[in-house]
Structure 1
Amino acid sequence: MDSIRAKIKRRLQKFIELDVNGLRSHILSIFLSVKETTVDELHANITEKYDISRSAVASMVGYIYSKLGVLRSHKESYKTPIVYSLKEEYEDMIRTALEARPSSSGC
């Protein structure tokens, strides 16, 4: 449905606009490159560039999942971590939004 895509696009643009240090863009670009990951894997990847706690990463992923709606989640069993993956239909939208962001965000 086009109206849903338009809403997601507006939310995504606002999300990236509020990216003061490049962290939000960095998380989205990681999802574009790895396709699926857990919070722990994502945290390990992000801490190479940013000083951020695991709970902050989990919070950001939860926000992207629930408010932006561009991720899906899967849990194999109650003992395994949740695996987040990017919905394929939004890859181009995210890529375009990241390319259009101002170059002043250091990512």
Structure 2
Amino acid sequence: MDSIKSKIKRRLQTFIELDVNGLRTHILSVFLQVQKTTVDELHQSINSKFEISRSAVASMVGYIYSKLGILRSYKESYKTPIVYSLKEEYADLLRTELESKNGQVTGI
């Protein structure tokens, strides 16, 4: 189990290091602060700070979900949007990595 966490930690560090405009850390900090969110809700909260398309937000959430593995998804029915939430076991790891980059967790 530790090897999985260490791989995720390395991927998360690389993901954060490649953040040139603060968008990636902002999205990750939103997941730390909210219990669950959809792509549309996330886009609305990010759009006030960054000019970004909904599809770009969806793409980044999909990357975080599939490659980093720190999110879980849930879809109640085929008509409802997918709800994403941060896995509890990675909350401390994410908080630590964001703090080490910024000195503190960025707010919404």
TM-score band w.r.t. shorter chain: over 0.9
Instruction: Normalising by structure 2, report the TM-score.
Output: 0.94
CA drift at 1:93: 0.3
Identity %: 75
- Cα distance in 2 between the residues matched to 1:28 and 1:83: 15
Q: Which residue pairs with 1:4 in the alignment? A: 4
CA drift at 1:102: 5.0
SS in 1 for 2:73: strand
SS in 2 for 1:96: helix
Runs of 4+ in structure 1 deviating by more than 4 angstroms, as ranges, are none
Q: Which residue pairs with 1:40 in the alignment? A: 40
Q: Which residue pairs with 2:49 in the alignment? A: 49
Q: Which residue pairs with 1:16 in the alignment? A: 16
CA drift at 1:99: 0.4
- Cα distance in 1 between the residues matched to 2:101 and 2:35: 21
Q: Is 1:79 the equivalent of 2:79? A: yes
- Cα deviation 1:33-78 (Å, max 9, x = unaligned): 0121000000000001000000000000000000000000000000
Q: Which residue pairs with 2:25 in the alignment? A: 25
Q: Unaligned regions of 5+ residues in structure 1, if any?
A: none
Aligned pair count?
105
Instruction: Normalising by structure 1, report the TM-score.
Output: 0.95
- Cα distance in 1 between the residues matched to 2:35 and 2:8: 19
- Cα distance in 1 between the residues matched to 2:4 and 2:82: 25
Q: Is 1:68 the equivalent of 2:74? A: no
- The RMSD of aligned alpha carbons is 1.3
